[in-house]
Amino acid sequence: MTPTNAANIASDLPVAPGTYRAGSSPVGLHRVLEPGGVLPQAAWRLDASPELYADEVRVRVDRLNLDAASFRQLWDRHGGDGDAVRAEVAGIIASRGKMHNPVTGSGGMLTGTVEEVGPQSRLGLAVGDRIATLVSLTLTPLAVADGLREWDGRSEQVPCDGHAILFGRSIAAHLPEDLPADLALAVMDVCGAPALTHRVVARYVAQGRPPVVAVIGGAGKSGSLALASARRAGAARTIGVVPVPAERDTLVEAKLADAVALADARDPVALSRAVEAAGGPADVTIVCVDVPGCEHGAILATADLGTVVFFSMATSFPSAALGAEGLAADVQLLIGNGYAAGHADFALDVLRGSPGARALFESRLAAHTHPQR
C-alpha cells in the first residue's frame, strides 16, 4: 500500500479518541496526498485532517507569519487589495492543505498552543505549551476554521484560528517569556540568517583573517540580525547596504554597521561600487533582500576566495552559478539553510544583545500594515 493510499483511507475512517493512526513517517510522507511518494514540501496537496498519527503533535494555530516574498507577490498581484489577498491565502490553504504560495514557492511560519501530543512524539512538547513552528509552512499540514476573518490582508502577520500538524521530526520552539510574541515570532522567522552568518564569519576569524562583511538589505529583519551576528562573530568591518535614504538613516541610527551604503542591489555595477566605497570588497556578502536579480551584484561585490550567502528566496540558482563563472569569480556560494542547531535561541540572544536590531524589529512590527521593500 502506498503512503498516498494509506493516508486517504485513514482520513476517511472515524478514529476513536485516544487512538492514533499508525504507519507514519518522521518526515511526513504519510500526509502527502498528491503527487505520491514526494516529501511534504514538494507535494501539491497535504492531508491536514486533525486525527493524529502516533508520533505527531497537533497545534491550535493563532497566527501565521507569511514569508516576505510570498506576501509581496500576493500584495503586488492584487494591487494592494487586502480582501483579495485574504481570499487567495484562504483558497491556497483550502486547496493545498498548507500555506504554500505556488508562485514564490515559499510559506512562512506559525504560532499556537499545543492541543494534543501523540504518544510516540519526541519533540518535547506538552499540551498547553505556547510554541512557534520553525519548519516552513510549505510542508506543514494546516486547516483554517475561521476563514481568516480577523485579518485585513494588509500585513504578513495573519491572525488565524485553525490547526496544524507537526511530524515526528520537526522543529518547534517555545515562545520566550521575556519578549512579546510578535517580536519573538518575527525573530524566529529569520533565525537561520544570524546563525549561518555567525558560522561563516567565525570560520574566517578562526583562520586568522577577520572578514569584511557586507549585508545587502541590512535594515531588514534577517539583514539587521545578520549584521549584529557578524559583529559578534568578530568581523573586521560590517557594511550594511540599503536601497533608499530612509533605510540608510534608520540603519545609521541603529548603529548596527560600521558603514552604511546606498545602492540598488539589482544593479551589479552600482552595488559593487557602493560596497567598495564603504570599505569593501567584502570577504563575506550576505544577501537578505527579497527581490530577484541580486546575484550578480553580490558576486561582483565579493573579494576573491570570499563567500556569498543567499538568504533571499528570490535567488535564482542558475543566475548565481553562471554569474560567478561569467565573472571569473572564485567565491564560495552558499544557499541560506533556514535551519541550524540552536538557531532560534541564538537569534533571540542576538536580538537581546543588540538594542539597534531590537529597535528595528519593533519599528517594523509597528509599521507593518504596508509591505516594505
Burial class, 126, CB count within 10 angstroms (exposed 0-12 / middle 13-18 / buried 19+)? exposed
Taking the complex as a whole, how short is the minimal distance between the CB of residue 93 and its own copies, in angstroms? 17
| Identified binder of its own copies from the candidate list 111, 138, 302, 354, rule CB under 8 A | 138
Under the criterion CB under 8 A, does residue 321 sit at the interface with its own copies? yes
Which of 153/306 has CB closer to its own copies?
306
| Three cell numbers, residue 295 | 546575484
Under the criterion CB under 8 A, does residue 192 sit at the interface with its own copies? yes
Taking the complex as a whole, how short is the minimal distance between the CB of residue 59 and its own copies, in angstroms? 16
| Identified binder of its own copies from the candidate list 14, 207, 318, 370, rule CB under 8 A | 318
CA-CA distance, 169 to 121, in Å (whole number)? 9
Query: Stretches 23-31, 44-52, 239-247, 275-283: which one binds its own copies (CB under 8 A)?
Result: 23-31
| Identified binder of its own copies from the candidate list 6, 62, 82, 105, rule CB under 8 A | 105
Peptide bond into 281 cis (omega under 30): yes
Under the criterion CB under 8 A, does residue 42 sit at the interface with its own copies? yes
CB atoms within 10 A of CB 300: 21
CA-CA distance, 201 to 289, in Å (whole number)? 19
Sequence-distant (6+) residues with CB within 8 A of 137 are 64, 66, 67, 98, 99, 100, 107, 108, 109, 110
Which of 162/336 has CB closer to its own copies?
336
CA-CA distance, 284 to 301, in Å (whole number)? 9
Sequence-distant (6+) residues with CB within 8 A of 370 are 154
The amino acid at residue 55 is: D
Under the criterion CB under 8 A, does residue 147 sit at the interface with its own copies? no
| Identified binder of its own copies from the candidate list 162, 218, 220, 268, rule CB under 8 A | 268
Which of 101/157 has CB closer to its own copies?
101
Which of 61/360 has CB closer to its own copies?
61
Under the criterion CB under 8 A, does residue 315 sit at the interface with its own copies? yes
Does residue 339 sit in helix, strand or coil? coil
Which of 107/153 has CB closer to its own copies?
107
Residues from 108 through 127 that contact its own copies (CB under 8 A):
none
Taking the complex as a whole, how short is the minimal distance between the CB of residue 42 and its own copies, in angstroms? 6
Q: What number of CA atoms fall less than 13 Å from residue 73's CA on the CB side?
A: 20
CA-CA distance, 77 to 89, in Å (whole number)? 12
| Identified binder of its own copies from the candidate list 9, 22, 39, 277, rule CB under 8 A | 39
Terminal Cα-to-Cα distance of the chain (whole angstroms): 48
Sequence-distant (6+) residues with CB within 8 A of 58 are 50, 52, 114, 115, 116, 163, 164, 165, 166
List Cα–Cα distances, 75 to 275, 318, 366, 371, in angstroms: 31, 27, 19, 8
Residues from 278 through 307 that contact its own copies (CB under 8 A):
293, 296, 300
| Identified binder of its own copies from the candidate list 205, 327, 359, 365, rule CB under 8 A | 327
Residues from 203 through 262 that contact its own copies (CB under 8 A):
none
Under the criterion CB under 8 A, does residue 339 sit at the interface with its own copies? yes
Which of 191/254 has CB closer to its own copies?
191
The residues of the shown chain that bind its own copies, judged by CB under 8 A, are 25, 27, 29, 37-42, 104-107, 134-136, 138-139, 169-171, 192, 267-269, 293, 296, 300, 310, 313, 315-341
